[in-house]
């Protein structure tokens, strides 16, 4: 699988990444999915301390045991878990430096390749948060850091003030908000995008029509249910490649600042279906523009 440089770092990540939140809590099943992902050339695994209240990090750490040097391991911080399972937002320096130790323990590793702030608002103590990440780099506990956010005002602050190498954000044919201004800004500053939700909750998968009936029945972002169904029909009629999953993944990867598209897989079969996209040629400029004409750009209405 092709690998792309993550920002200005020396990390080279597979163009598809496994979002580990969907692995579930069945250790044997999760191990099989991770092993197959490695077999298919995926080297980039993304988790978070919040997923399954820390259990996901434990499962990922166990699944990657003995293979740590083969992978780029990313996790996230900022959602302060309480004993009752609830959480509150906490981007404080104290919490970040405390929590990284717990993530390292659960992941069974002594360093994290990419440590990400799991959200963020313009009212956060941003300078303090950046200071925490920089100190963790100096201590060798993390190699690089990034943020996970779709908020333009927050992203601009980190671009100006920090050494982030990546921004994880929701981006798909159905959610083209990043195209408004954020993608070009990050590209100009040599900061990579990691696209999450490239299949729009499965509404851009090979089973799109059925998925839209459930997950899109109340609409999705600026689209009504009827608009979603109409777009799916047009996309299926004008598929650039053999299937809609491939087309959707190739669309987000076409922008030069997108280093990797993150997808979840709850089964080996689902994973194999998603990685089959690499058997097809990238989109041509004409195909890319045709896809843009079928969907529509959506603007951010908050956090500008």
| Active-site amino acid positions | 51
Give bridge partners of residue 192 from the DSSP assignment.
166
Q: Report how far residue 5's alpha carbon sits from residue 257's, in angstroms, rounded to the nearest whole number.
A: 10
Give the ranges where the chain is alpha helix by DSSP (H).
27-39, 55-63, 93-107, 126-138, 152-161, 182-188, 208-215, 225-237, 244-253, 268-275, 285-294
Strand pairing report for 12-14 and 3-5:
antiparallel
d(CA 182, CA 175): 13
Q: How far apart are CA 12 and CA 20, in angstroms?
A: 19
Helix intervals (H) in 217-284: 225-237, 244-253, 268-275
Residue with token string 């009827």: 226
Helix runs in 2-54, H state only: 27-39
């Amino acid at each position: 699988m092709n690998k792309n440089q993550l920002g200005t770092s020396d990390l080279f990540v597979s163009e598809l990444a496994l979002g580990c939140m969907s692995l579930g809590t069945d250790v044997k099943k999760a191990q099989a999915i991770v092993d197959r992902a490695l077999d298919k050339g995926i080297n980039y695994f993304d988790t978070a301390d919040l997923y399954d209240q820390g259990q996901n990090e434990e499962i990922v750490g166990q699944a990657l045991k003995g293979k740590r040097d083969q992978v780029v391991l990313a996790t996230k911080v900022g959602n302060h878990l309480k004993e009752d399972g609830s959480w509150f937002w906490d981007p404080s320096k104290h919490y970040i430096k405390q929590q990284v130790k717990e993530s390292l323990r659960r992941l069974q590793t002594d360093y994290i390749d990419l440590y990400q702030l799991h959200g963020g608002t313009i009212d956060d103590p941003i300078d303090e948060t950046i200071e925490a990440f920089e100190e963790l780099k100096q201590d060798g506990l993390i190699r690089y850091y990034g943020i996970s956010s779709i908020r333009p005002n927050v992203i601009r602050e980190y671009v100006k003030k920090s050494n982030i190498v990546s921004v994880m954000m929701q981006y798909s044919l159905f959610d083209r908000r990043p195209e408004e201004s954020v993608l070009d800004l990050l590209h100009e500053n040599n900061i990579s995008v990691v696209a999450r939700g490239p299949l729009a909750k499965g509404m851009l998968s090979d089973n799109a029509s059925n998925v839209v009936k459930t997950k899109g029945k109340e609409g999705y972002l600026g689209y009504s249910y009827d608009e979603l169904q109409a777009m799916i029909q047009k996309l299926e009629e004008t598929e650039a490649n053999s299937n809609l999953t491939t087309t959707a993944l190739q669309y987000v990867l076409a922008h030069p600042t997108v280093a990797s598209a993150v997808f979840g897989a709850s089964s080996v079969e689902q994973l194999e279906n998603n990685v089959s996209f690499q058997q097809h040629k990238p989109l041509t400029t004409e195909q890319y523009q045709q896809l843009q004409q079928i969907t529509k750009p959506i603007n951010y209405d908050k956090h500008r």
